[in-house]
Structure 1
Amino acid sequence: MDWIAEYNNKQLSILKELSDKEEIRIKSATKRLNELLIVNDSFSNLDITFKEYEFCCIFCLDDDKKIVIAINNYLGHYKCFVDGWETYLKRNKNEILLKEYKEALSAIYDQNFEYRFIYNLRNYTQHCGKPISSCSQSVNNEFELIMDRDIFLAEHTGIQGPFKKELQRSGDPKLDVDKAIRRVHELLIELQNKLLTEMARSDYSFLSAAVQIAKFYNTYNLENGDLYLLNYEEINRIKELNKCQDETELSMFRLPIQLARLVIKGTHIKFEFTGKNIGHSNSFPMLFEPKYKASFLKFKTGKQSVISKGIKWIRVVSSTGWVQNGSYDEYFAVYIPEGLTIDEYSNLAEKFEKEINWIINKN
């Protein structure tokens, strides 16, 4: 039998013993959701190298060699991350997501100078080029990691033609390597989250698992810490440690709450109707086809919350209005799965409210 424990502020609190039903349900949900983590490994490695780079920027600015190693490590793992996703999607023959991935990556390249720079800088360092020309720090601890544009253009014989022309037209002879790395990492985090949520959307079981984990977490989380599962043997070890005040490592299983929330936040059902409002449904909003071609469509607005396929959906946005010269109604509503905090739902509501430019009344 497993127990649930919460770790917060270096304190481990044993909360309760799980029932057989609870244990089976949460372990099954966790196993399912963790399948998404298979494609998360390359990003985890990338994130580790980014943190190592940040560490060097704070503590190793007087050591150019360590800075160069940290930058090269990040550039290498950036390429592994990008190639890893494409390889995974090809092997799993996910043509739809592969197409979306390529389009998203192409948009990142087209819309961000920093990404184009890092793309070419990585190719440059792969052929023995040094990723920075200078490293400096001011008296107020502001630092610069600069690649000289003219040196970069002169030495990088394999630079992309369009990017070469872009740099030649630039009036700034300094290329900010630190700014580029930080911006690219932000973009790759956004890409990673987008891909994981798209994968979850393609299979309802991922969403179901995410909701179960989030509900479990909300039930047992008391101090906003991390929740872990421990078996009976580990509980006995903790009891013995309390007696002798010794130290040891424990085998604990952490619940993937961040991934669960990411999946929930990335899932929504949106309704946008134009026609005649004929009342309220007992479920989601409903649209009815007219009997005659010349007639308006008819619709019913939805409930505040709806249970569908075992998941409770919360309405976070609902707006109705009417068009003066058309004598018909307009309706907009968004539903999000349960499992998030009040603040998270509020933030999502603000996001969707920006899509509404015709609000007249709020339900």
Structure 2
Amino acid sequence: ARGAMDGIATPPDPYPFRASAAVLGSVAPVANWFSLASRGARARHWLVNLGGLTIIVVAMVALTLITSAYSPRPPLDFGAIAINPHALQWAVVGFGCYVVLNLFQGLSLSDRPAFAVMTSPSVLLCMAVGALQTMINYGVMGFTPSFLMARFGLSPTETGLQFGLLSAAIGIVGPMIAGPLSDRINLRFPGAGRVWVTLFALALSPFIALWVYASPDPTSFYLRFVLYSIILTAWLPPLYAVLFDQVLPRMRGITSSTYIIISTILGLGVGPYTVGMISDATGGDLAFAILSINWVGPVIVALLIVLAWRVKRDEARMVDRARAAGEPI
């Protein structure tokens, strides 16, 4: 049975596809309103949903105006329709934010134990750290090939073979080192050990980036990038382990889905866009643009310090939170 290894056996869901369809209906805009109505949502639920939607729309409009002024771009033509590319960007991000709001609100009505556990401070901190760091990772990796071609005159073929193969190899090596290492450190410092490994990697990597992107030639860049990439990817295994330790076995799937959605919105949705916008606004200075994405680093460090302080306590309270919300354990 699921969760047996954790000592929390969970009976299988007799209708898993029906449950998946219900989750999809609860998060999709417009369909979510029918889901709220069918679940007997009260006035406060509607107020949160519509109020949240209003805040998201206002925020996206404001961001569109700000980014359009910072980095003006020609409109995108879709037949007879011309769209401001910044408006399109923030419309997609806003759509994702509304989906996340709907997901949490749907869980609060359909699966209160999951909602209670997933809104634990440590779970939310893990998701915030992962999303912000994913923004850095995608911003850096998305534009580094362009940086190599512009700075060192490499051809697309050379860049693809050299940087592509190196990135793929180091992307495997980094997590393989960090995973077992964080497990061993966590034995010595239960709960916070994995967080300290994550903190070390994410606090150090921005400083190494300054050294990497100041390289005088391609060989120096690649040698420095090996160290940078190993450290830059070392946060993944320990943070995932912390996240899954904070939820019941049956909730790990929906927790993963939520984490991936939030990370995609900030990582793929905002990371490369921000680097590209800064590069355009600074006359194509890709090194400066790539390094600028690390401005979220201090926020990540602060969140990890709080997480290290809370993680053991929140994990100990996980079962009690679920039981108080109605979980039969």
- Do Structure 1 and Structure 2 share a fold, with TM-score over 0.5? no
Bigger strand fraction: 1
Structure with max Cα Rg: 1
Relative contact order: is structure 1 or structure 2 higher (C-alpha 8 Å, sep ≥ 6)?
2
Q: TM-score, normalised by structure 1?
A: 0.26
Bigger helix fraction: 2
